[in-house]
Amino acid sequence: MGLHEEVQTLVPQLIAWRRDFHRHPEIGLDLPRSAGIIAGVLRTLEYEVAEHIARSGVVGVLRNGEGPVVMVRADMDALPIQEENDVPYASVEAGVMHACGHDGHMAIGLAVATLMAQTREQWRGTLKMVFQPGEEGFNGAEIMMAEGVLENPRPDCVLALHLWSTLTTGKVAVTPGPVMASAEAWRVTVTGQGGHAAQPDRTVDPVVTAALIVTALQTIVSRNVSPLETAVVTVGRIAGGDAFNVIPDQVILEGTIRTYDPLVRETVLQRFREIVAGTAALMGANATLDLHAMTPALVNDETITREVQDVVRKTQGDEALELGLRTMGSEDAAFFLQEAPGCYVFVGATSPGKIMTPHHNPHFDLDEEALVIGTSLLLAALRHFMAFGRED
Ligand SMILES: [Zn+2]
Ligand SMILES: [Zn+2]
């Protein structure tokens, strides 16, 4: 039986899993229902199962002789969004929705775990299936790592995918190097001396100071970062003042910084601090900066990624392979790929001709054909990296 026929045998189950997860979404690190289903399936397949890692994380290990340890990571959490799709499998939880596709990631993970367990004669080594909670801003990957998820056994290679709405179904984007950005969240508190709007000379105006900071920050990317490098500095929130005729004491700015390269990141952070402190000093105000590093850049290993590209060409055809897809979004799989070499793949999930709905939108829905493609791709990649006779 060829790869595609093999995956076809599991399609009704694959779709049933995805729709069940979709109907019953859970948020953050507490995903007892999803975790229970996953642990149950893995146990039936005779995986060694560890539960409650980062509260709801599940790890299934399948040992199948001498060979490499390959880890597959699937994220599990939904979002605080009210679903607006009118589909039979719509969320039954008010205000909670799988609007990023992680329902599909769990279903693909279970399908891959099933097919690998059923075909042990076709590969050797140790398969480590990692189902991760809390990807959407809950530090799930970091917490799982702190609880030892990368030990016993330690992976030689990490594979992960995201079903991707801006790619047409049938396309698979596999790009070496950085594909997602490092992310920091920042908050600047500008403190001046408030007073009457008609007597600005008797105040230290934090509104004008904040405005100058916002403008000066634009020069980091345009004047300090090389035009050949990649960075984003965004101010996403300005808050200050209560009345048209009052100069407030304080203005708050919040935003994010995104980069691909650690040296570029250092340059941006250094200029950021200098501009905030220098502009505040120039205006006689005070500014404090709270900087919160969220994720590092997600960097695909060159060698492994070239091999995954070959797997895509062989199993999905040359025309399926999309090169060069990168985003300035961030993803905490980056922590795993920082510790072990690997490849993170984007799998097209919008059917041809259909209007794309962005992730995190109340109308987001997956083309379920993408579940089949994601399963085939991971299965083929695992058998490639865990093939008999392959030199390590
Ligand atoms: Zn998301
Ligand atoms: Zn996501």
pLDDT in tens, 347-391: 999 999 898 899 999 999 999 999 999 999 999 999 999 998 775
Q: Which residues contact 377 (CB under 8 A, 6 or more apart)?
A: 161, 172, 311, 312, 315, 316, 345, 347
Q: How far apart are CA 261 and CA 226, in angstroms?
A: 12
Of 58, 142, 145, 133, nearest to 102 (Cα)?
A: 133
Give the ligand with the smallest distance to the CA of 160: 2
pLDDT at 391: 58
CA 76 – ligand 1 centroid, Å: 10
- pLDDT of the residue at 390: 73
Residues designated catalytic: 77, 135
Q: Which of 40, 105, 135 is nearest to 32 (CA)?
A: 40
| Separation CA 370–CA 351 (nearest Å) | 9
- The DSSP output letter for 355 is P
Residue 191 CA to ligand 1 center (angstroms) comes to 35
Stretch (H or E) spanning 232? strand 231-240
**In the chain, which ranges are continuous DSSP H helix?**
3-8, 11-23, 32-44, 102-118, 140-146, 206-219, 262-282, 302-316, 333-339, 369-385
Separation of CA 333 and ligand 1 centre (Å): 12
CB 71 within 8 A of CB 93: no
Please report the pLDDT score of residue 392 as a whole number.
52
Report yes or no on whether pTM surpasses 0.85.
Answer: yes
How far is Cα 85 from Cα 362, in angstroms, rounded to an integer? 7
Task: Tally the residues of the chain.
Answer: 392
Q: How far apart are CA 117 and CA 126, in angstroms?
A: 11
Assign a CATH topology to domain 182-295: Alpha-Beta Plaits (3.30.70)
Q: How far is the CA of 91 from the centre of ligand 1 (A)?
A: 17
CB 55, CB 29: distance < 8 Å = yes
**Which residues sit opposite 194 in a β-bridge?**
none
Assess whether the region 3-178+297-385 and the region 182-295 belong to the same CATH fold: no
Q: Nearest bound ligand to CA 163? A: 2
Domain-wise residue ranges, the chain: 3-178+297-385, 182-295
Q: How far is the CA of 57 from the centre of ligand 1 (A)?
A: 17
pLDDT (tens, 9 = 90+) of the chain, 392 residues, equals 789 999 999 999 999 999 999 999 999 999 999 999 999 999 999 999 999 999 999 999 999 999 999 999 999 999 999 999 999 999 999 999 999 999 999 999 999 999 999 999 999 999 999 999 999 999 999 999 999 999 999 999 999 999 999 999 999 999 999 999 999 999 999 999 999 999 999 999 999 999 999 999 999 999 999 999 999 999 999 999 999 999 999 999 999 999 999 999 999 999 999 999 999 999 999 999 999 999 999 999 999 999 999 999 999 999 999 998 999 999 999 999 999 999 999 999 999 989 889 999 999 999 999 999 999 999 999 999 999 877 55
Q: 377: CA distance to ligand 1 center in Å? A: 21
C-beta contacts of 213-217 below 8 A and 24+ residues apart? 213/188, 213/253, 213/275, 213/276, 213/279, 213/280, 213/287, 214/238, 214/253, 216/275, 216/279, 217/272, 217/275
The CATH code of domain 3-178+297-385 reads 3.40.630.10
How far is Cα of residue 248 from the mean position of the Cα atoms in its chain? 39
* Matching residue, tokens 């076809």: 8
Ligand minimally distant from the alpha carbon of residue 333: 2
Residues 6+ apart with CB under 8 A from 44: none
Ligand closest to the CA atom of residue 361: 1
Give the ligand at the shortest distance from the Cα of 104: 2
Ligand 2 centroid to residue 259 C-alpha, Å? 19
CA of 71 to the centre of ligand 1 (A): 21
Ligand 2 centroid to Cα of residue 337, in Å, is 16
List CB contacts of 142: < 8 A, sequence separation 6 or more: 332, 335
CB 17 within 8 A of CB 40: no
